[in-house]
């Protein structure tokens, strides 16, 4: 899952950036409102973490611009503005949730997962195609033979496939879910991770469509 982090405070931004990467997300971090809109114009994100007190363009302006373009990306406002009217303004402008600073990263991650699920129409956090069931909260996969714990990168790749069972994702699309800006894309990383997942889950867990990409099958 790819996250746009919009935060001008270096300490908060670095903390959130590291925590998101540790939680298996591909993260792009920008520090002002203008750069946020530029990023959104060129990249598709699964969720935006948006501060309000930003240089160049205020967070509320960014939020209104996102919604004026009918962009449905989930937006989680993360700010120190704790007044009732500030919260109302953010929600009315199109925010999906509102988190006040200082915050616990565990809560931020949970709220982020919740807004993504709501946008996707999912009441439950589990992803399943009938044969595999993936729990994003624990990075565990349940199969007919038991439960398997995944590494961070294994989880990111399998999650990208299981969000859309039956859809074929290319190497570039999978790499886009694994790496944020500035991260070196490792050679054959996708093949290595798929090999590791097949060893844990069975060769039939992920299907290769030669010359196109990879997929997990839809359930019955």
Per-residue model confidence (pLDDT) at position 39? 94
Q: Which residues of the chain have pLDDT under 50?
A: 121-124
Look at residues 119, 137, 159 and tell me which one is the last residue of a structural domain.
Answer: 119
Is there a single domain that holds both residue 88 and residue 20? yes
- CA-to-CA dists, residue 149 to 14, 38, 57, 191, angstroms: 27, 37, 42, 19
Is there a single domain that holds both residue 108 and residue 147? no
76 near 97, Cβ under 8 Å? Answer: yes
Rounded to whole angstroms, the Cα distance separating 217 from 95 reads 34
Per-residue model confidence (pLDDT) at position 124? 47
Per-residue model confidence (pLDDT) at position 125? 66
In tens, the pLDDT along 60-89 reads: 999 999 999 989 899 999 988 878 888 888
Preceding peptide of 102 cis, ω within 30°: yes
Is there a single domain that holds both residue 39 and residue 110? yes
Cβ-proximal residues to 205 (8 Å cutoff; 6+ apart), any chain: 131, 132, 143, 197, 198, 216
**Exposure letters 105-140 (e unless 16+ CB within 10 A, then b):** eeebbebbbbbbbeeeeeeeeebebebbebbbeebe
Is there a single domain that holds both residue 151 and residue 107? no
Closest residue by Cα to residue 60 from 28, 27, 23, 98: 98
Whether the predicted model's global pTM rises above the 0.85 cut: no
* Residue 30, domain extent: 2-119
Cβ-proximal residues to 65 (8 Å cutoff; 6+ apart), any chain: 37
Q: Is residue 49 part of a domain?
A: yes
Q: Is residue 220 part of a domain?
A: no
Look at residues 100, 119, 138 and tell me which one is the last residue of a structural domain.
Answer: 119
Rounded to whole angstroms, the Cα distance separating 112 from 68 reads 22
Is there a single domain that holds both residue 26 and residue 7? yes
Look at residues 119, 147, 177 and tell me which one is the last residue of a structural domain.
Answer: 119
136 near 156, Cβ under 8 Å? Answer: no
Is there a single domain that holds both residue 7 and residue 99? yes
Is there a single domain that holds both residue 143 and residue 106? no
Output the domain CATH number for residue 181.
1.10.10.10
Per-residue model confidence (pLDDT) at position 139? 81
Per-residue model confidence (pLDDT) at position 123? 43
Is there a single domain that holds both residue 89 and residue 144? no
What does the block give as tokens for 56? 């160049």
Output the domain CATH number for residue 91.
3.40.50.2300
Q: Is residue 142 part of a domain?
A: yes
Is there a single domain that holds both residue 115 and residue 131? no
Q: Given the structure tokens 């991770």, which residue do they identify?
A: 193
Is there a single domain that holds both residue 13 and residue 115? yes
Residues paired with residue 140 on neighbouring β-strands, in sequence order: 135, 149
Query: Per the structure, how many domains does the chain have?
Result: 2
């Amino acid at each position: 899952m790819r996250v746009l982090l919009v935060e001008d405070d270096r300490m908060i931004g670095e903390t959130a950036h590291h925590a998101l990467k540790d939680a298996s997300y591909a993260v792009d971090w920008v520090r002002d409102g203008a750069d946020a809109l530029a990023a959104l114009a060129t990249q598709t994100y699964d969720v935006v973490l948006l501060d309000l007190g930003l240089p160049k363009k205020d967070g509320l302006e960014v939020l209104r611009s996102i919604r004026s373009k009918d962009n449905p990306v989930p937006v989680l406002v993360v700010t120190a503005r704790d007044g009732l009217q500030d919260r109302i303004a953010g929600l009315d402008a199109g925010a999906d949730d509102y988190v006040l600073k200082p915050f616990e990263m565990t809560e931020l991650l949970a709220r982020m997962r919740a807004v993504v699920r709501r946008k996707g129409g999912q009441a439950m956090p589990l992803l399943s195609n009938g044969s595999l069931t993936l729990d994003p909260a624990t990075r565990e996969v349940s199969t007919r033979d038991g439960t398997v714990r995944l590494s961070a990168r294994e989880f990111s790749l399998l999650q990208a496939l299981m969000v859309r069972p039956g859809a074929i994702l290319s190497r570039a699309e999978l790499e886009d879910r694994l790496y944020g800006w500035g991260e070196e894309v490792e050679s054959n990383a996708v093949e290595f991770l798929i090999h590791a997942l097949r060893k844990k889950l069975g060769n039939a867990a992920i299907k290769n469509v030669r010359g196109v990409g990879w997929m997990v099958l839809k359930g019955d």
